[in-house]
Amino acid sequence: MGLKSYPRFYFELMFASFMLLVGMSLPAAFLPIFANDLDPSGTLVGFVVSSFFVSRIFIELPSGVLSDWFGRRKLLVGGLAIAAGGALMCSVADSVYILMIGRALWGLGTALFFMNNMALILDLFKSSTMGRGLGTFQSVEFIGNFLGAPIGGFIAGIAGYRQVFFIAFFFSLCSFFVAFISRSLKQRDIKTSEESKISVNEVFSNLRNWGLTVTYINSFSRLLIMQGVTGTIFPLFLSYHLGMTVELIGIIISLRTVGHIVATVTSGYFSDRFGRKPMIMTGLVAQSLCFYLYTVFPAFEPLLLIGFFEGFGEGTVFTSLLVLLYEVAPAGFKGRAIGMYRTFLDLGGFLGPPFFMLLFNSVGSYYSFVSAIIIFLLNIALLATLKRKEVSM
C-alpha cells in the first residue's frame, strides 16, 4: 500500500497531528522551570507536569469504547477544541494552580484526539504493512516535536513563557479547523461496533491475555520514565546542575526528537520484517545505555549525541509496541484495547513526574537515572516471557 493509495483524511490527520504536536512540545524545554518559578517550594513542580495526564486516565478507555460505537470523528474534533482551550488557559496562568488546570484540560483534549486518530490510522492497514504505515505517520507527527522544543526555548528567552503557550493555542486551533472541515474524515466517521452498553468485565477480563498485559505494563513504564525523567528531571538536571540555558536545553531535546523521528521511519519497516518483540527489546536496551551515559558525559556536545540515540531507542519502542498491541487485541476489541493501552500510558505519565521528583530531591539525579534503567531491564524481562504465537504477525 503506497502513499498515493492512502485516503485524503490520512494526510489531513497527519497535518493536524503535526500542528498539535508542535504546540504541545513548545513548552518542553522550560515547563518544569516555569512551574518552579510559580511554586518556589518545588513541591508542585512534578504535579504540573503530570496534570497533563490526570484527566486522560479517566477518559481514554471510555473514549475507546465510544469510538467503537459512534465513530471517531466527533470525539477527535471535540478533543482538539478542548486542547486549544487548555493551552489558552496556560498562556494566562499567574499561579501554579491555574497552570495545572490548563494542563489538565490540554491533556484531556489531546487524549480524545490521539485515541481516535490512532484508531482511524490503524484501521487502514493490514498486519504486514502496519508498521510501515504507522511509522511514516508518526515520523511526520514527531517532526512537530523536533521543531517545537527549540522554537519554544528561543521564544521563551525573548518574549517569556506565557507567549509560548499562546502560540501553542494557535497551533491547536489550526488542528481543530483542519479536522472540522475535512470532508473525507466525515465520510470515514462510521461505527465499528453495535454493542449497547459498556462491559467493564469484558474490558478487564482481557488482562488475562498475557500479550496485552505485557504491552500495557510496557506502556505504563514508558510514560513513567518519559515524563518523569526526560520530561521533568532532565531539564532540571541540565538547568540547575549543568547551568544550561533554556535555548540549549531546547536544542538537546530537539536532537532527541530527531532520533525518535528516524526510529519511527526505520523501526516500522524492521518490525514488519523481524518482529515486534526484537525491536522493542532493542529500543529498551538502547535507552538503558543512554540513560547511564547521561551521567558520564555531562557536557553539551556529547549530550546532543546521547540524546539522539536515546530518542532513537524510545521511537523504536513506541512504534513496535503499538503495532504489537493491535495484533494481540481480540477482534471487535481494538478500540477498547487502545483505550486501555493509553490509560496505562496516562497512569505512567501522571505518576512519573512526582515519583521521580521525589527521587531527584532525595537521592539526586544519578540514582534517578539508575532507577529508570532498572525499570527498562524489568520490561525486557517481561517481553522475553512472550511466546512466539503471542507476537506473530
Which of these, 363, 54, 350, 53, lies nearest to 228 by C-alpha position?
A: 350
Q: Is residue 245 part of a domain?
A: yes
With beta carbons less than 8 A apart as the criterion, state whether 55 and 85 touch: no
Among 121-125, 276-280, 318-322, name the one with the lowest average pLDDT.
121-125
More confident residue, 392 or 94: 94
Strands (E), the chain: none
Q: pLDDT category, 327, cuts 50, 70, 90?
A: confident
Contact, 131 vs 323, CB < 8 A? yes
CATH code of 269's domain: 1.20.1250.20
In this predicted structure, the answer to whether residue 213 has a pLDDT above a threshold of 90 is: no
Q: What is the mean pLDDT of the chain?
A: 82
Model confidence band, residue 393 (pLDDT cutoffs 50, 70, 90): very low
CA 194 to chain centre: 30
pLDDT band at 392 (very low <50, low <70, confident <90, very high): very low
Question: Going by C-beta distance under 8 Å and a sequence separation of 6 or more, which residues neighbour residue 349?
Answer: 50, 52, 53, 56, 223, 224, 226, 227
Q: How high is the pLDDT of residue 348?
A: 92
Which phi and psi (to 5°) does residue 39 adopt?
Answer: -130, 80
CB-count burial class (<10 Å; 0-12, 13-18, 19+) for 241: exposed
Domain contains 195: no
Does residue 1 lie in a domain region?
Answer: no
Domain boundaries, position 63:
7-189+205-391
Q: Which DSSP category does 195 fall into?
A: -
Name which residue leads in pLDDT, 134 or 26.
Answer: 26
Instruction: Calculate mean pLDDT across residues 227-247.
Output: 89
Asked, for residue 100, whether it belongs to a domain, the answer is: yes
Q: How confident is the model at residue 146 (pLDDT cuts 50, 70, 90)?
A: confident
> What number is the average pLDDT over the span 185-214?
63
CA distance 110 to 80: 7
Of the given ranges (138-142, 210-214, 387-391), which has the lowest mean pLDDT?
387-391
Question: Is 370 within a domain?
Answer: yes
Is pLDDT of 335 > 50?
Answer: yes
**In the chain, pLDDT over 90 holds for what percent of residues?**
30
Query: Per the domain annotation, does 266 fall within a domain?
Result: yes
44-50 mean pLDDT:
85
194 located within any domain: no
321: nearest Cα among 366, 367, 379, 370: 379
Residue 343 pLDDT level (bands cut at 50, 70, 90): confident
Where do we find the cell 515519583? 355
- CA atoms 188, 194, 197, 198: torsion sign: negative
Higher pLDDT, 199 or 255: 255
Tell me the mean pLDDT in the region 155-181: 92
- pLDDT surpassing 90 at residue 370: yes
Cα separation, 322 vs 210, in Å, equals 15
Q: What is the pLDDT of residue 190?
A: 55
Alpha carbon of 211 to those of 217, 294, 311, 324: distances in Å? 10, 32, 25, 8
Residues 6+ apart with CB under 8 A from 79: 108, 109, 110, 111, 112, 113, 114, 115, 116
Q: Does residue 2 lie in a domain region?
A: no
CA–CA distance, 316 with 288 (Å, rounded to integer): 13
Average pLDDT over residues 276-280: 87
Q: In angstroms, rounded to a whole number, what is the distance separating the alpha carbons of residues 257 and 373?
A: 20
Higher model confidence: residue 132 or residue 140?
A: 140
pLDDT value of residue 155: 92
Q: What is the pLDDT of residues 97-136, one digit of tens each?
A: 999 999 999 988 988 888 777 777 776 666 666 666 666 6
User: Domain total for the chain?
Assistant: 1
